[in-house]
Structure 1
Amino acid sequence: MNNKKLCVVGLGGVGGYLGCMLAHHYDNIYFFARGERLASIKKNGLRLHSDAFGEFTTYPTMASNNAKEMGVMDYIILSVKNFSLEQVCAEISTMIDENTVIIPLLNGVNVSSNLRNLIGKVHVLDGLIYITSGASKDFSIHHTSPYGVVHIGYERQNQCGEIILLEVKKLLQGANITCIIENDIEAAIWTKYILNCAYNIVTAYYKATTGDLRKNEISMLQLKTLLAEACSVARSLKINIAGDLEDIHFKHILQNQSESATSSLNRDIISGRQNELETFSGQLLKLASSRCLKIPMTEFFYEELKKVNKF
């Protein structure tokens, strides 16, 4: 990283955590942000409250909403909501040249394919992250899980050199961010997506935490059905997910997840913010339809949540 530049685009719960960790360990980290969040970072830095790493404030080399001002980047971590991807790609285009490596950590499937269509033939990895974190009203970041694990790889149809994956892994691990290179990144992305298509939806419908769900037998049965429906879509698409993935996710929520945890979809709908309902239920329903599959529980929750969704 001595002569490399990295920009984190999107400084919410996930991007804020990664930005803080990277800026805490490296001197050449840039933040792309807007509005009040940008003003706060410029004035106060970005504060991390982490159950795993304690509390500290970081100051990037530059925080700006002007990509041209920051210049071309060697690495870009994209941590924005799916619905803003096209707009963000247009805004950061001057940061990207033929050598830039982009690491997208968005929810949903086919993200990297969409990115390649939007920005052309640059080095776009496939990625995901498991973490529990969020941004407070003062824009500080609260990391409430003992883990924050990034998974990276390339789609089967886009085999690029392993050297880029190794470089990114080294970069992240140099900032105490656990990074795993996946042999089958498509299966890894779908494994998380299936969890989101069930957990985000049920918590948003019931306005619930994990602890609330566990006390409601009906919601847990619905959760199990949603997991099974999402798995059925993945298997129809020949995604190599675990044969018992429904049970793995259900047991994790039932036994291991923090009782106070909830989903980003629940927080966004309660707050009246634009959200990723379409990324989860909407996209899953389209994929199911393309395979002539019926997923009635998913459809029920999708229609119900659209009634309270302002977007």
Structure 2
Amino acid sequence: MMKIAVFGIGGVGGLVGGALARKNEETYFIARGKTLEAIVSRGLHVESALLGDFTVKPKGAAESAGDFGVMDAVIISCKGYSLKEACRIVSPMVGEDTLVVPLLNGVGVSDMMKPLLPQCLLADGVIHVFSHIEEPGHIVQSYGPCHVIIGMKGGERPQKLDELAEALNGAGIKTSVSEDILFECWRKYLIMCGNSVVFCYYDGPAWKVREHADYKDTVRAAANEIISVAAANGVKLPEGSADLCAENFMKLAPETVNSLYRDLSSGKPPQKTELDHLIGRMIEMGRAANIPTPYHEMTYKRFAPEKR
């Protein structure tokens, strides 16, 4: 049985960690504040359209990783702005043979993590799921499937990748191992970052965006910026991806927004959102490849004009 730690018991980490803790006795949570208090006192409660309704306690839960020893695998699920701190906290659990898998938004996440962690098996990961924190220690996945994809940037396939996939599948989280994980990361990033730009550009949910006659052109333009930068980084996204983004945006429920726009429009400080991790990173990669990213630039300057 794998010894697995999950850092960040939010919408994603709570669902994945809860599923693992129910089936894998050697599961540990790294959490803090009211979330940690809730887990220690009454367990983690999960309501899931996929997994059912259950409450579970991991083998260990703490704010610090120092007491748990070296893990076989560590799953990091946090916002991009917390990634540096997350790596610092989990480092005592990471040995040369530890598999570390980030499940958070963005591309090139393993590249950002590499200088922050001890030598280890550092993978990349993608999760497709709709889940959220109802309150500390209470996770809700009200609809849709959950699919995790993991892999090594160079295409290697160490045994622990398959072992973790087996543990997750056994816990009810559909998981596959990809030999081209960068493609999977960029494919999700195209939707996540592209939609962030569109919601911010029109300053509203899907219904407000669709009131503008040119919105499909904007969706395609933002998508094509990402597609061009992906190609410059060696990842070719499928033909017609920008048109597909426009078609899919047309199908969104009227009140749909995404987490970055919700955070920014609610007045959160930009540094406490994923503005830098998503849109700022695209601008940086575009500049490095000499590819203009005007829609990303406009969005960034609107919310953090002093930084660029």
Residues 1:9 and 2:4 aligned together: no
Q: Name the CA distance, whole Å, in 2 between partners of 1:51 and 1:204.
A: 30
Within a 5 Å distance, the mapping from 1:1-311 to structure 2 comes to 1=1, 4-156=2-154, 159-204=155-200, 206=202, 208-255=204-251, 257-269=252-264, 270=266, 272=268, 274-306=272-304
> How many equivalent residue pairs?
304
Percentage of matched positions with identical amino acids: 30
Q: Name the CA distance, whole Å, in 1 between partners of 2:202 and 2:51.
A: 32
Deviation of 1:197 (Å): 1.4
Which is worse superposed, 258-267 or 279-288? 258-267
Tell me which amino acid in the other structure corresponds to 1:15: G
Which is worse superposed, 202-211 or 239-248? 202-211
Q: Structure 1 residues 144 and 204 mapped into 2: Cα distance closer, same or farther (>3 Å)?
A: farther
Q: Name the CA distance, whole Å, in 1 between partners of 2:225 and 2:162.
A: 35
Tell me which amino acid in the other structure corresponds to 1:155: K
Q: Indicate the SS of the match to 2:167.
A: helix
Q: Indicate the SS of the match to 1:147.
A: coil
Q: Name the CA distance, whole Å, in 1 between partners of 2:255 and 2:15.
A: 19
Q: Structure 1 residues 35 and 308 mapped into 2: Cα distance closer, same or farther (>3 Å)?
A: farther
Q: Name the CA distance, whole Å, in 2 between partners of 1:260 and 1:47.
A: 27
Q: Is the 8 A contact 1:133 1:144 kept in 2?
A: yes
**Could you list the per-position Cα deviations for residues 174-220 of structure 1 after superposition, in whole angstroms to 9, with x for gaps in the alignment?**
01101122221111111111212111233345564445544554444
Q: Structure 1 residues 225 and 67 mapped into 2: Cα distance closer, same or farther (>3 Å)?
A: same
Aligned Cα RMSD in Å? 2.3
Q: Structure 1 residues 174 and 44 mapped into 2: Cα distance closer, same or farther (>3 Å)?
A: same
Deviation of 1:258 (Å): 4.9
Deviation of 1:14 (Å): 0.9
Deviation of 1:6 (Å): 0.9
Q: Structure 1 residues 305 and 284 mapped into 2: Cα distance closer, same or farther (>3 Å)?
A: same
Q: Indicate the SS of the match to 1:121.
A: coil
Structure 2: gaps of 5 or more residues? none
Tell me which amino acid in the other structure corresponds to 1:98: E
TM-score by length of 2: 0.90
